[in-house]
Amino acid sequence: MEKIKWGIIGCGNVCEVKSAPAMNLIAGSELVGVMRRNEEKVRDYATRHQVPKWYTDAEELINDPDINAIYIATPPSSHAEYTKMAAKAGKPVYVEKPMAIDYEQCQSMIAACAKADVPLFVAYYRRCLPNFLKVKELIDEGAIGEVRMVQLELYKSADPKVLVSGGDSWRVNPEIAGGGYFFDLASHQFDFLDYVIGPIKRATGIKANQAGLYEAEDIVTASFEFENGALGTGSWCFTASELARKEEAVIIGSEGIIKFHFFTGSKVEVRSTTLHKTFDFDFPKHIQQPLIQTIIDELHGNGKCPSDGISGARTNWVMGEILS
């Protein structure tokens, strides 16, 4: 492909700073059009971000001859439908995470893109951020020996904006999101662990809705096993006391440990018999830009994006096993 001319379906909050602005900052890339069903909101977005075209119909945007790549930034329930439409039009797809509401939909997306011979990328951008790449580097160079175990903890208090009637957020509506906050946040965790340790081959869990603030689960515990034999545990609670607030990941090796955070900081601490050091990193202004750069590179034939439909589907499979 020559210049990558993006069309975005669903220009909501994620497109304000995290992703879309980067498409105009990368050489060989341009944001040409945006789509949202609400005409007032899509027109406002296009005006503020100086996007030449705007639509209220996804099919019209996909079939625009001036657009040759599609970014799907809607909630997960519509990812499969829009991916298949874009693939049928012969256009590469970049889809937000989680990839879909379940593993079966992920497989249908992979099949559609394979049939159309177009690439499918998933927005697991932590695979390209410097602090997470440091974790991968430490593991790859054997800084903590062989990985034995992973521990994930995420405890947050209830969001006061979420109402008992079902909430004002699509993220806690399983029909739209696939699950609750676990599905939204743990997907980042499992995807990155897949990247640095390898695929998970077995997973099980217990879920519950203890507070009754919304339909989705609000507490989850899980155990999982990687293909290389390492084991993992995780616990997530989204209605905990503020006194219990915590977010930490620990990778335990035969010769040391690595501690880091997925959502609450960029520090990476490594401790072993020969090394005790803490690294700190700055995030890019547009946090998806490093990953989008790899997509542009691949579409130009100059590299490979580390987050595709195959790896994205594995994360959906793991979460499905845990929640089932």
Q: What CATH number has the domain bearing residue 66?
A: 3.40.50.720
Do the Cβ atoms of 100 and 80 come closer than 8 Å? yes
| Percent over 90 (pLDDT), the chain | 94
Q: By the 8 A CB rule, do 75 and 177 touch?
A: yes
> Buried b vs exposed e over 48-84: b needs ≥16 C-beta within 10 Å?
ebebebbbeebeebbebeebbbbbbbbbbbbbbbbbb
User: pLDDT value at position 167?
Assistant: 47
User: Could you give the CA distance from residue 279 to residue 292 in angstroms, rounded to a whole number?
Assistant: 25
The answer on 291 and 276 residing in a single domain is no
* Per-residue pLDDT at 91 exceeds 70: yes
**Pair 17, 111 in one domain:** yes
Q: What is the mean pLDDT of residues 161-172?
A: 66
Q: Does residue 319 fall inside a structural domain?
A: no
* pLDDT exceeds 60 at position 93: yes
Q: Would residue 316 count as lying in a domain?
A: no
* 98-104: average pLDDT: 98
Q: Are residues 246 and 211 in the same domain?
A: yes
Residues 206, 242, single domain; the answer is: yes
Whether residues 195 and 63 fall in one domain: no
For the stretch 110-124, pLDDT in tens is 999 999 999 999 999
Residue 7 is predicted with a pLDDT of: 98
Mean pLDDT of 44-49: 98
The predicted-structure confidence for 257-301, as pLDDT tens digits, reads as follows 999 999 999 999 999 988 999 999 999 999 999 999 999 999 999
pLDDT for 257 equals 98
Does 101 lie in the same domain as 62?
yes
Q: Please check whether residue 321 lies inside any domain of the structure.
A: no
| 34-38, 197-201, 210-214: least confident range | 210-214
Reduced to 3 states (helix: H, G, I; strand: E, B; else coil), residue 248 is strand
Q: Is the pLDDT of residue 163 over 90?
A: no
- pLDDT band for 162, please (50, 70, 90 cuts): low
C-beta neighbour count of 186 within 10 angstroms = 25
For residues 69 and 92, membership in a common domain is answered with yes
Instruction: Using alpha carbons, select from 197, 195, 206 the residue that is nearest to residue 234.
Output: 206
Q: Looking at residues 223-236, what average pLDDT do you find? A: 98
Residue written as token pair 């803490």: 278
For residues 134 and 259, membership in a common domain is answered with: yes
Average pLDDT rounded to a whole number, residues 292-317: 98
Q: In what order do the strands lie in the sheet with 4-9?
A: 53-55, 29-35, 4-9, 69-72, 93-95, 120-122
Rounded average pLDDT over 156-169: 68
Q: Would 324 be classed as within a structural domain?
A: no
Number of structural domains (the chain) is 2
In a domain, 208, yes or no: yes
In a domain, 64, yes or no: yes
318, part of any domain: no
Do 68 and 136 lie in a common domain?
no
Q: Which domain holds residue 264?
A: 130-282
Looking up tokens 């690294």, which residue turns up?
Answer: 279
Confidence category of residue 97, pLDDT binned at 50, 70, 90: very high
276 and 298 part of one domain = no
User: For the domain that residue 177 is a member of, what is the CATH number?
Assistant: 3.30.360.10
Residues 69 and 160 in one domain: no
Would residue 323 count as lying in a domain?
no
Q: Give the pLDDT mean for 184-188.
A: 98
Per-residue pLDDT band for 164 (boundaries 50, 70, 90) equals very low
Provide, rounded to the nearest whole percent, the portion of the chain with pLDDT above 70.
98
Q: Are residues 51 and 176 in the same domain?
A: no
HSE-up (13 A, CA, CB side) for residue 180: 24
Identify the H or E element spanning 246. strand 246-253
pLDDT category, 1, cuts 50, 70, 90?
A: confident
